[in-house]
Amino acid sequence: MRRSLAGRSLGSVSPSNAARASRAPGIALDIPVVIDTDPGIDDTLALLLALNSPELDVRGIAVSYGNTVVEHAHRNALEILRRAGKRLPVAISARRPLVRPLATAHETHGPSGLGDARVPPAGVILDYVKPLERLLDEQPDPVTLVTLGPVTGLALALRRDPAIVRAKVARHIAMIGNLRAAGNTTRYAEFNAWCDPEALQEVLRAELPTELVGLDVTRKLVLTGAEIERLGRLDDPLARWLYAALRVYHAFHRKYDQLDGCVINDVLPIAELIAPGMMDFEPFRLTVHLEDGEQRGRTRIDPQGAQARMATAVRPEVARRLLAERVLPAPVVAEAAR
Ligand SMILES: [Ca+2]
């Protein structure tokens, strides 16, 4: 077995090719997926997991503002694709919230969005770049839309072309919101929901259907400080690059959450697609607080709210095992490899 991280997960015989080769021709088992993302350190692990998983056929990436400005998120997405050895269509999902001023999480993810990881300079994104609804329209059949950032781009697509969204999105799974867990941006609100509560309200009311993977479950998926330090000691370019990103995220968690580790929220919706049933979902009627203040962006149960399913329990060891097998080398995530 090659010890190189790149060789394990990103080598020339990709898991994707190997899996396709073992299947009968003409039988498409891969789940077609479009990922709307604001990379982002946890987005990076989620994207690498998706790109390295034969169960998923990632058809394209749509990039949003969120953890950083959209120009940086776009540059980061291209760098993640380059390091994964993939070329995919990249669309622009949203540059700013529907009505609120743009805010980013630079104190969590660093000014570039990827901590101290080296990235090329960001360019200007011109107006004719493909929007999310065009990326969806190009799909020959319905896809699973995964959103890992604010849902502004999906709300805009629903405003501009609801028929395309409804025809091409068979399932929407989102890292967003919280019910019983405390917020991570205010006492009550999760960051993606807080960024654009009006967009989340519009998306929920569309009842696509949407499934929410929120802080109630994502807080249970933690890379420990010891695991991050082990990653930093590996002699491997991708491991060093990920470590430079994760150590900033780790320092943030240590300072603000008194947590020796990183909550890697965005990995969970991807893991659920690969290993269905690793989370429990329950149906709710949900609404979003649109008022300013600590309640802004809070998701809560409301008998008049929109129907959606929300994750209420998780088996994080499944996601940790997937990361160990497909993104991080086994010695990093020690117990998951057993
Ligand atoms: Ca994200």
Give the distance (Å) from ligand 1 centre to CA of residue 110.
13
- C-beta of residue 71 within 8 angstroms of C-beta of residue 124: yes
- b/e map of 141-159 (b: 16 or more CB within 10 Å)? eebbbbbbbbbbbbbbbbe
pLDDT per position as a tens digit, 104-152:
988 888 889 999 999 999 988 877 789 999 999 999 999 999 999 999 9
How far, in Å, is the centroid of ligand 1 from the Cα of 137? 24
CA-CA distance, 312 to 331, in Å (whole number)?
30
> Max Cα separation, the chain?
56
Instruction: Tell me what pLDDT residue 44 has.
Output: 97
Provide φ and ψ at 165, rounded to 5°: -60, -45
> Per-residue pLDDT tens for 173-210?
999 999 999 999 999 999 999 999 999 999 999 999 99
Return the pLDDT at 11: 33
**CA of 282 relative to ligand 1 center, distance in Å:** 23
Pair 66, 38: CB distance under 8 Å: yes
Residue 126 CA to ligand 1 centre (angstroms):
23
Q: How far is the CA of 23 from the centre of ligand 1 (A)?
A: 33
Distance 16 CA to ligand 1 centre (A): 24
Q: What pLDDT shows up at residue 126?
A: 78
Q: 38 CA distance to ligand 1 centroid (A)?
A: 5
Give the tokens for residue 22: 């073992």
Q: Report domain extents, the chain.
A: 18-326
Q: What is the distance in A from the centroid of ligand 1 to the CA of 42?
A: 6
Q: Which residue has the tokens 């021709």?
A: 25
Surrounding residues of ion ligand 1, Cβ less than 5 A: 38, 40, 43, 148-149, 266
Residue 104 alpha carbon to ligand 1 centre in Å:
11
Tell me how far the alpha carbon of residue 329 lies from the centroid of ligand 1, in angstroms. Answer: 23
The pLDDT of residue 106: 86
Q: What is the fold, at CATH topology level, of the domain defined by 18-326? A: Inosine-uridine Nucleoside N-ribohydrolase; Chain A (3.90.245)
Q: How far is the CA of 266 from the centre of ligand 1 (A)?
A: 6
Supply the pLDDT for residue 27.
Answer: 46
Say what the pLDDT of residue 128 is: 77
pLDDT of 203 reads: 98
> Given the DSSP bridges, would you call strands 169-175 and 210-213 parallel, antiparallel or unpaired?
parallel
pTM: 0.90
Residues in the chain, pLDDT under 50: 1-28, 337-338
Centre of ligand 1 to C-alpha 109, Å, is 10
Ligand 1 centre distance from Cα of residue 147 (Å): 8
CB 232 within 8 A of CB 187: no
Confidence (pLDDT) at 330 = 63
CA 154 – ligand 1 centroid, Å = 14
